[in-house]
Amino acid sequence: MRKHIVAGNWKMNKTQTETVELINELKQQDLDANVGVYISPAFVNLSKAVALTADGNIQVAAQNMHQSPNGAFTGEIAVNMLQDIGVNHVILGHSERRAYFGETDELLREKVQVALDVDMEVIFCFGEELNERKEGTHFDVVKKQLTTALFALDVSAWRNIVLAYEPVWAIGTGETASPEQAQEMHAYIRSLIEYHYGVKCADDVSILYGGSVKPANAAEIFAQPDVDGGLIGGASLNATDFAAIVNGFAS
Ligand code: PGA
């Protein structure tokens, strides 16, 4: 059965000192033990985060990685560097990587494969832009993203994939998809997985929603049957807000 997951994407925020502070604050919170809690600090703070969370239930994820195992790629980080410091989860395909760093689904297919080859768990992000939602092409866009990046994978790969549907128009804008819009898209995504990989795989994959999730709206979004949690940006930078979101599932 699929897991409930809430992942905090800290983006390019928090120095090492602030990272330590925020993790210590998070550790003081009463977090629902049935929810997989992830945090994703910047690369330079990952080691510290791994050390500080070793005694608890918080997982640490990287925000990106390179598609090559090593080599002359100045400024980049390889998957074995992450694993060697104890990071076993990576966010790939975030809309900011796509928009500002030119990441395509073809490139992401490579990154996903490289991560899965060494048993890294991938949180794969995708979602339509505002004009695509307005034109009514959002289902086609999502289908194409998933088809290109993921649907050539073998069914066994899916045990290490978490999906994060993030409509670009809802990220950092304060505008959230309505619970109905999220449910409609998540059910569609699950139907695509069922079509390609069968009902068990579709039932087992966790599909997170991301885009302006806050303590005030988390519960109604998480109450949707095909929403298994959230990828949280801004609100993950505050321990009490993040904890309230983690605790937003009905028991
Ligand atoms: P937000 O970001 O919660 O600040 O909208 C979500 C994300 O980028 O994953």
* pLDDT tens, position by position, 45-83: 999 999 999 988 999 999 999 999 999 999 999 999 999
Residue 136 is encoded by which pair of tokens? 């009514």
**Confidence grade of residue 239 (pLDDT, cut at 50, 70, 90):** very high
How remote is the CA of residue 236 from the centroid of ligand 1, in Å?
Answer: 9
Mean pLDDT of the residues in the chain: 97
What pLDDT does residue 251 have? 72
Taking the C-alpha atoms of residue 105 and residue 153, their distance in angstroms, rounded to an integer, is: 14
Which residue out of 103, 128, 132, 166 is catalytically annotated?
Answer: 166
Q: Which atom of ligand 1 is nearest to the CA of 172?
A: 5
pLDDT reading at 89 higher than 80: yes
Task: Evaluate whether 229 touches 35 at the Cβ level (below 8 Å).
Answer: yes
Phi-psi region of 71 (alpha: psi -120 to 50; beta: other; left: phi over 0): left
Nearest atom (ligand 1) to Cα of 211: 5
Distance CA 71, CA 34 (A): 40
Q: Tokens 């086609």 label which residue?
A: 140
Rounded distance from Cα 212 to ligand 1 centre (Å): 6
Average pLDDT over residues 228-241: 98
> What's the full length of the chain, in residues?
251
The token pair at 225 is 């049957």
Threshold 0.95, pTM exceeds = yes
Active site annotation includes 135: no
User: Among all chains, which residue has been given the structure tokens 């866009």?
Assistant: 141
Residue 166 a catalytic site member: yes
Helix axes 105-117, 138-149, angle to 10 degrees: 40
